[in-house]
Amino acid sequence: MKQRIFGWISTLIGIVIALAAIELLAIAWLYIEEGRYVSAEELFQRSQNTYVRDLTKGTSCRYVDTLYPHPYVAFVHHGNPPCGLPNVNNIGLLNTDFPTIKRDDVYTVLVVGGSVSSQLAQNWPAPAPRYLEEELNRRFVSPTGKPFLVLNGGDGAWKEPQSFILFSMYASSVDAVMTLDGYNEHYMFRSYTEERLERPLSNFADVNPFVADENFGDAAIGWVMGRVAGSMAQMPILGRSHAVYMIVRGIEAMAKGKDVFKADKNKKTTLTSIFALPSDVKGNGDKVFQTQLVLYQKYTRAIEAVAKDNNVKSAYFLQPVPSWGKTLTEEEKRAAGANMTDPVLYRRIVDGMLTLRDRGMQVFDLGDILKDVPETIYADDIHFIRDTKGDSKGYRIMARVVADDLAKAWDLKAK
């Protein structure tokens, strides 16, 4: 009996030593990779951008578990248990409900775009600041004299034509509209892109079972891998292990390699075929760029046309990116990592969109708003750092510059 107990203890000690050795090896590997010691908690945080992480913080739910299919804008969020978001409004976005009929007690400004526009417009939970709304009400008088109400019309991974579609649905319910975009659109401008600007991102497939069934095996593997990785990261002990982080990183890399959009040669109709670029455009970097720019401009001009028809004021903003317009700190460089935007490509897009000024459109470039800010502002490859109370120097700066430009565009009077 004593020999058996001694054997169990020896085996247990051997397992503990082996696990410790694996953990030390993982720490050493990551130390070489990072050039410094980084806690496992910080590494796990980096595995998702801040917008995604904030929506699932403190839960075992993944971002996809908060999504809900939408017939016109591809996907929104839901408030259903167990993974619903507490601040989802009546149309599946975050914060204030959208009116069906224009309100006469406020001056309603709709902000459309991706996750950055969403954070600028709707920071939550209360009492976190509503950056743009607070800035406008503090400094300017609205055209009607009523308080400004800023509605969030943006969501993570949204790009055109989602902004155009959402605004078209609610154009009769608001007084003004502004876009804040460019980053999500830029992915479709890369030379190897084979699909049009309008192709929905993978969130669409995640919330549409029929589309996922086009490649069900890969979609299921990706879903399971994501669930396992997310659960491990949430565990009190495993979530602090560098070795587990490396396992999770490997799992997620495998999951991302499962492409539910890839073409099935035996099927005539797929997502890829629906949004395919012409054969003479594919592989030609300049043709890809020009084709996507025409589409991007088209939807922005369409917003302008709908705005004019509904007597809605309009303005258009190209968002800043870490790779241009700011001297990055070492922390910002690490946070942006491999997702850093190609500055040459992005500035070509901005320059192309600024030509819409020739049509009399109010288009603004926010690319240099952080040029004189030396400290760390970016939390990842596009979002700004927010503190535990939801405040953010980056979004405060953006709100101030945007408010100044809106004042010029809409002839707002200063208080």
d(CA 323, CA 342): 7
**Contacts of residue 74, Cβ cutoff 8 Å, sequence gap at least 6:** 162, 200, 203, 204
The pLDDT of residue 254:
60
Beta strand segments in 133-262, E: 140-141, 148-154, 176-181
d(CA 128, CA 131): 9
pTM, to two decimals = 0.83
The pLDDT of residue 261:
46
The pLDDT of residue 233:
62
The pLDDT of residue 211:
62
Residue numbers of the chain with a pLDDT score lower than 50: 258-261
Instruction: Round the CA-based radius of gyration of the chain to a whole number and report it.
Output: 24
Amino acid at 102: K
b/e map 124-141, b = 16+ CB within 10 Å: beeebbbbbbbbbbeebb
User: What residues are paired with 316 via a beta bridge?
Assistant: 179, 363
Tokens read off for 146:
């009523």
Q: Cβ distance 136 to 91 under 8 Å? A: no
* 3-state secondary structure at position 180: strand
The pLDDT of residue 260:
45
Q: Cβ distance 60 to 230 under 8 Å? A: yes
Share of the chain above pLDDT 70, in %: 75
Find, among 283, 221, 224, the residue nearest to 257 by Cα: 221
Give one DSSP letter per residue of 93-126, joined into a string. Answer: SBSSPPPSS--SSSEEEEEEESHHHHHHHH--ST
Alpha helices by DSSP H, listed for 126-215, are 131-139, 162-170, 183-186, 202-206, 209-213
β-pairing, 140-141 vs 413-414, is: antiparallel
